[in-house]
Amino acid sequence: MQVSTSHEKWSSRLTFIMAAVGSSVGLGNVWKFPYEAGVSGGGAFVLIYIACILVVGLPILIAELTLGKQGQMSPPNTMRTLAQREGRSSLWQSVGWLGVLAAFMILSFYSVIGGWALAYVPKFISGDLITTNPDVVTTEFNTLLASPAQMLAWHGLFMVLTIFVVARGIHAGIEKAVDILMPALFFILLALVIYAAIAGDFGRAWSFLFAADFSKITPDVVLNALGQAFFSISVGLGAMMTYGAYLPKDVKIPRAATIIVFADTMVALLAGLAIFPIVFANGLDPASGPGLVFVTLPLAFAGVPLGGFFGTMFFVLIVFAAITSSISLLEPVVSWAEEHKGVKRSLSAIVAGFLIWLLGLLSVFSFNLWGDVHLLGMFERFETATLFDLMDFTTSNIFLPLGGMAMVIFASWIMSRETTETDLGLSPALYKSWLFLARFVAPIALLMIFAYNIFG
Ligand code: TRP
């Protein structure tokens, strides 16, 4: 196969960090984290989540970025080159392929939810959603879900935006997008938290998020917290590997990874602090699941002054966060295509984006036409799981942890110590800590959680 490594490089350390934070901060932070925390009892989930991020997520993120920086190519080709360099089987490239598959699957449903958020912006601006009548909001949301045509259109628009950015390349596309969207996102979020602190019940939200009720912890909660940690920091798939491949040699990865993980966790917690104060102030249920942001929150906004304006801003925030993530899901695929002679970035972005949109039909129909299709219904755990639920579960709870495990094992056991030691540029003590976490703690934690889930 003819491959070329001449990808564009990030213009600066700062744009790389903004792009990587943009990848990690997404629907996972503003939509999924609050509702997962909500249904799993708040504080206990938050605590386990943070532990997963620090002990498993951060060492793996460092490993994944390092692989990318060393290989300088898309995940399949990076893994193949690095395995060759270390004299190992070219089968290692299957880690890259698993990532490409996961990217297709995740983006296909990610874009459907991103489409809901897009749809909510005009609904808020027109005032349709600003009502304290639960029936009206529920009907509004259910009507959207019940209409394959509407959902397909919004999902399509979301994919078009994603394709547009990725097609333009690193400098003209991704960097430009994150340069505008990330600062905007930051200011909107800050404004929303301040607003929630003034208009909502901040104290209750605080204790909900930070007072741990350990009776709520089950193996399922731990697996979900782990899956959520992987999903939220974009690790285990090769998105970060791809972004790492565009790094100039002099950027030190551990610092960058720490900033990414810190920013991501802060945004998840701040999103909780923007949402729950208003939810509690209106006496609504924090444990309302996936509908938390789309049904509970509009009701909550309608009950507070200036709710229409801040509600609109909240959904603009979700859209911005989702776009800077979705581009990082399309990029590994396009990056791989680009490595073939004569393949144009714009064309591959359009083709891959279209195929992903098609795959998204499975998710779209899960909410209406195929709402009763339960492929794995014979297993108690998946009794009510739709195709959408199954894709979410398979990717977050199986593919990403598996990919992450393979990457961290490769970086810590197979790559030569000299390579990682010089490349990471850590003090001896910190390097040894990383090595210990990467070699033992992260893989063993992952194995235990897997085993618990299969046999427990
Ligand atoms: N991290 C993003 C979020 O929280 C989603 C995402 C983007 C992602 N790129 C990824 C998840 C790569 C896993 C792997 O919404």
Whether the CB of 24 sits within 6 Å of ligand 1 = yes
Ligand 1 atom at minimal distance to the Cα of residue 395: 13
Q: How many CB atoms lie within 10 A of CB 180?
A: 12
Cβ neighbours for 186, distance < 8 A, ≥ 6 positions apart: none
In the prediction, which pLDDT does 305 show?
A: 86
Rounded to the nearest 5 percent, the helix, strand and coil shares of the chain are: 80, 0, 20
d(CA 229, CA 285): 24
Q: What is the pLDDT of residue 105?
A: 97
Q: Please choose from 31, 36, 53, 232 the residue to mutate so as to test ligand 1's pocket, defined by most ligand atoms within 8 A of CB.
A: 232
What distance in angstroms lies between residue 50's CA and the mean position of ligand 1's atoms? 17
Measured in Å, residue 290 CA sits from the centre of ligand 1 at 17
DSSP class of residue 25 equals S
One pLDDT digit (tens) per residue for the chain, 456 residues: 556 668 999 999 999 999 999 999 999 999 999 988 888 888 989 999 999 999 999 999 999 999 999 999 999 999 999 999 999 999 999 999 999 999 999 999 999 999 999 999 999 999 888 888 888 888 999 999 999 999 999 999 999 999 999 999 999 999 999 999 999 999 999 999 999 999 899 999 999 999 888 888 888 888 889 889 989 999 999 999 999 999 988 899 999 999 999 999 999 999 999 999 999 988 888 888 788 899 888 888 888 888 899 999 999 999 999 999 999 999 999 999 999 988 999 999 999 999 999 999 999 999 999 999 999 988 888 888 999 999 998 998 889 999 999 999 999 999 999 999 999 999 999 999 999 999 999 999 888 877 776 665
Q: pLDDT tens for residues 384-400? A: 899 999 999 899 888 99
Q: Is 234 in the pocket of ligand 1 (CB under 6 A)?
A: yes
Alpha carbons within 13 angstroms on the beta-carbon side of residue 449 total 23
Residue of 106, 185, 392 with the most ligand 1 atoms within 8 Å of its CB, for mutation: 106
Decide if 382 contacts 390 (C-beta within 8 A).
yes
- Ligand 1 lined by 329 (C-beta under 6 Å): yes
User: Could you tell me if 437 and 59 are in contact, meaning their C-beta atoms sit under 8 angstroms apart?
Assistant: yes
Distance 113 CA to ligand 1 centre (A): 13
Reduce the DSSP state of residue 433 to 3 states and report it: helix
Give the tens place of pLDDT for each residue, 301-311: 888 888 899 99
CA-nearest of 385, 71, 54 to 235 is: 54
Task: Let me know: does 170 contact 6? Beta carbons within 8 Å.
Answer: no
Our CA dihedral for 103, 106, 111, 113, rounded to 10 degrees, sits at: -160
Residue for token pair 């605590």: 47
Contact 37, 372 (CB under 8 A): no
Rounded Cα distance between 164 and 167, Å, is 5
